[in-house]
Amino acid sequence: MDAGRNPLLDRLREAVAPDFTVERALASGGMGTVFLGHDVQLDRPVAIKVLRPDVATANWVERFLREARALASLSHPNIVPIYRVDERNGLLYYVMEYLQGETLAARLSRGPLPLAEVLRLGDELLGALEAAHRVVIHRDIKPANIFLRDGHAILTDFGIARPSGDTSSGLTEQGSPIGTIGYMAVEQASGGAVTPQTDLYAMGLVLYEASSGRRLPPLTPVERIDWSGVSQKLRGSLRRALQWEPSNRWPDATGFRRALAQARERRRQLTPMRTVAAITAVALIATTVHEIWPTLHSTSPTCPPHANLALLPFHMTGGITTLTGEEFAGLVGAKLDWYGRLAVALPGCGPTGPGDNKPDPKLASSVDYVAEGFVVPRGSGMVLSLTVRQGAQLFDHLEIPGDILDVLSWSQVVADSLVSRVFPPYSDEYRRLGAGSSPGTSLQAWRHYFDGEREFQRDAYNFAKAQYDSAVVLDSNFVQAAWRLGIVKRFLRLPFEEYLKQFLVRHPDLPVQYRNLAQALLEPVLEDRFARYEETVRDYPRDGYARFVYADELFHRGPLIGIALDSALAQFETAVRVEPYLDQMPAYDHLLYGYLRLGLRAKADTALAHRVEIRPSGEPDDAQRRRFFRLAYDFRYRPSLAGLKVWALGLIADSTKLEGAGRFVRLGSSFDIPNAMVPLGRVLVRKGTLPYAQANGYMGIGLGYMMMGRPMTALPRLDSAAALYSRPVEASWPVSPGFRPVDSLLEQAEWRVMPGVLDLPGISDTAVAGGRRTLEVMVQRDQSAPRAAFALATDAYHRGDTTAAQHYSGVVATLASTDTGVARLSLLLTAIQTAARGHPDSAIALTEPLLNYGPQSALVDPFSRSVLYLRRAEWLRTGRRHDAADRALLWYQNSDNGLEGWPQWQLEPGEVDNMLGVYARLLRAEAALARHDTATACPLIARVRELWQDAEPGMASLKQRAEDAATRCPP
């Protein structure tokens, strides 16, 4: 044998081939040797730790497996991730990330760390221990087991970790302590029970050494510690961590970490330079807002430009204290509003000021009739003396007796009287439909309903839901409250389809427009769904609520059948004009959202002005939306200011606020502001405390880079997101309805293969081949892997490999009979195969059913919807159906993520659509130029060039197409 040969290296190379290659040994310890390897499939360096055969006793095998299992069960950005555990060729090994950088021990050999770095080090390592202690106790925390990479700490070497539930002795043999004596707690060194507090003691030693530059002698009593060189802000936290008695230390890593966070906050507040910087940032933001505010500010309308009737709050006399005049008028107005044919300005629109019941002159000119009333005692009862004016003239005077103890029935009589006396043409239909009637008997339920209406109009969806829920609990037959509850569930992205089905069964006598709206919401065929909406809006032109629901549906799903986003915005504008006091906040949310996405700044200015001047509701979600909408506007039009705001956010926001805002990081793709996703994602990754929050940060960064034409930069971030999403879900995490655990290897492989299928270049050939190999292995090992088989089939068709395409299509087809979503994938593959055989028209016909809307069907594969629309556009162009092809390419304007709940977990179809939206705009612009339509093409191509201005070299072909198209636009 050659003297320079390493027999273990040779055996390992043979064992891990062909998935990995092995280059050289990196380090050797008591039980294992670590080698540098390369993952052939995913084109990345790895570290491979193998148990040395000469120590492979049963005890050492169990210890090695314990380390592997401990690492495999953990997924945290500050813990080295494990990719595979296996036993081949008589060798037990596991594969983990190859960490490039230096250890903390090497760094400390050059001196102590600055306080800011010590605090960040503690925050990250204690975050890692928060995750680890759910599973294991590390037992060997020391600077040599901590890697520093890009300024962040990675905890390694779980070789002597013990399961968290096992608090037995730390000895392997009598009198032999496990660990490194210089970093042991007294109970570990003496063979006592180890607990999470054992690791916290070691963490205290590490942070002491990092801060002071000195290593404490083993088991130094806390009262004898030399604290010179250690910041006062750290001493209290470290003093508690280094107590000899475990019960006197921090109870867990979370408590220790919070104490360090408070020290960071105190430092942030007291450090002069940082304080000056923060004040400067705030001053600059305030100055900028002050400068632009006059251009944004306008008066939000509070009354409709035209209404049939304005109801002023009634005057209550006779000592009535159980009911307010606004409530009484509100009850009457709600019954008229439920009818839908009449535009009614409800109480609060008309009076000029609090307690002023005189009609506003502006209001009097914008409505047909104004009604005001006085509730007065008469005999043994009460009478509502109601005056109706038409302009300045008295139109009618009604006296309607009733019982204040039965105000619901009384308000019904008042509503009926107004229709019959003031609007006689509607009287017969009103009575026939029973539109104003409601069997509700609880005034308190109506109060909850009115509160819910107010909260919903202010964008406080959670508050509104609570009020509507209370109303329905008090009165299960309260149809108005039950209907609004269904709508607010939908706005909160909660499951609502089954609720609506039950609602239609429970309330068979709904007014026509509401029955139509409910049935439309449940209609899977989008063409039929929108036909129902159009019919309802046509028949009830003054029902702003019906128009609002229609506009909302157009906004989210209209592009899926070729209806442009600006059609939805026109409906929202009309809804606001018809009933501006109705759902103002949600309407302006959508208007701002849409105008930002379309790049229409002047209209976005107006929508933002209306949005921000509506009084905040106090709901946390409302506050987050307000901040995000302002920030989205800045990233679109004032990116320098936006960058400053994110910098300030990173200084002052706590982890709770950041985790709550995590969904907005990923919504950036829908707002067409990928430049926001990267810096916001970085803040979330750095300061988020839970894995799903950090995963959202990585996902936001990755999607942002993909939209900006930087796929190779995106891949490591998307890999990190997938790895974090794959960890077991804890009960306290906000799991979205329909959540499925993420297979990290599958998603990582898809990101390497599917962009090419979708005509996006830029992923290296090596990475594509690695992703393809991973997918092939998955299908070989599990024939029930439709998502992997679908990706391989579409990839094979794209490459022209019909043999492989048919094989993997067959795998999908075998599973189609038992799963609706898989059946949709199989039908799409059949259509692709049909088109490949030269029959694009048949392929188009085959895919028509796939345009039907089913929120759960898209979950099988998030890339499939983009594949569907891009291929349909291609087939339509082949058949010279250019208008239809252009409508198909509008699909990317949808904002339907494909499942209920906010985007906080697995990759969603809408996010892939948004990513492909840049390429789709290039295709639309090229098609428009072909027909000499520069008015359509040039704004599209300008945005494409803006988004791809820093694209990677691999995107050069598409970027050149954009540049060529731009030469045909006027300067």
pLDDT for 339 equals: 67
Q: What percent of the chain is predicted at pLDDT more than 70?
A: 81
The DSSP secondary structure of 585-623, one letter per residue, reads HHHHHHHHHHHHHHT-HHHHHHHHHHHHHSPP---HHHH
> Which candidate in 43, 140, 475, 589 is catalytic?
140
Q: How many Å from the N-terminal Cα to the C-terminal Cα in the chain?
A: 74
Q: What is the DSSP letter of 215?
A: P
Sequence-separated contacts (24+) of 55-58 with Cβ below 8 Å = 55/30, 55/31, 56/92
Q: How confident is the model at residue 270 (pLDDT cuts 50, 70, 90)?
A: very low
Name the more confident of 428 and 121. 121
Residue in 480, 485, 474, 483 with CA at minimum distance from that of residue 441:
474
Name the more confident of 101 and 698. 698
pLDDT for 355 equals: 34
pLDDT tens digits along 816-866: 887 888 999 999 999 999 999 999 999 999 999 999 876 555 557 899 999
pLDDT for 440 equals: 53
Q: What percent of the chain is predicted at pLDDT more than 90?
A: 38
CB neighbours of residue 877 within 10 Å: 18
User: Is residue 913 predicted with pLDDT exceeding 60?
Assistant: yes
Say which amino acid occupies 83.
Y
Tell me which of 34-38, 345-349, 617-621, 715-719 is least confident. Answer: 345-349
Q: Average pLDDT in the 756-773 region?
A: 94
Residue in 488, 560, 569 with CA at minimum distance from that of residue 909:
560
Give the separation between CA 11 and CA 895, rounded to whole angstroms: 53
User: Is residue 354 predicted with pLDDT exceeding 60?
Assistant: no
Name the more confident of 32 and 196. 196
Contact between residue 178 and residue 160 where contact means Cβ atoms under 8 Å apart: yes
Name the more confident of 108 and 101. 108
pLDDT tens digits along 826-840: 999 999 999 999 999
Name the more confident of 702 and 186. 702
To the query of whether residue 621 is one of the catalytic residues in this protein, the response is: no
The DSSP secondary structure of 879-902, one letter per residue, reads TT-HHHHHHHGGGGG----SSSS-
Greatest mean pLDDT among 61-75, 213-227, 256-270: 213-227
pLDDT for 575 equals: 83
Per-residue three-class SS string for 304-329: CCCEEEEECCCEECCCCCCCCHHHHH
Report how far apart, in Å, the C-alpha atoms of 640 and of each of 59, 645, 650 are: 60, 9, 16
Report how far apart, in Å, the C-alpha atoms of 232 and of each of 224, 260, 488, 793 are: 17, 12, 51, 62
pLDDT for 745 equals: 85
pLDDT tens digits along 492-522: 777 778 888 888 988 887 878 888 988 998 8
Q: Which residues pair with 399 in a beta bridge?
A: 385
Backbone dihedral region for residue 751 (phi beyond 0: left; psi -120 to 50: alpha; all else: beta) = alpha
Q: Average pLDDT in the 715-744 region?
A: 70
pLDDT for 926 equals: 97
Residue in 403, 437, 407, 405 with CA at minimum distance from that of residue 419:
437
pTM of structure: 0.63
Name the more confident of 457 and 97. 97
Residue in 499, 506, 504 with CA at minimum distance from that of residue 517:
504
pLDDT tens digits along 786-811: 999 999 999 999 999 999 999 999 99
Q: Average pLDDT in the 940-966 region?
A: 96
Q: Average pLDDT in the 5-17 region?
A: 87
User: Is residue 299 predicted with pLDDT exceeding 50?
Assistant: no
Q: How confident is the model at residue 310 (pLDDT cuts 50, 70, 90)?
A: confident
Name the more confident of 402 and 430. 402
**Chain mean pLDDT for the chain:** 82
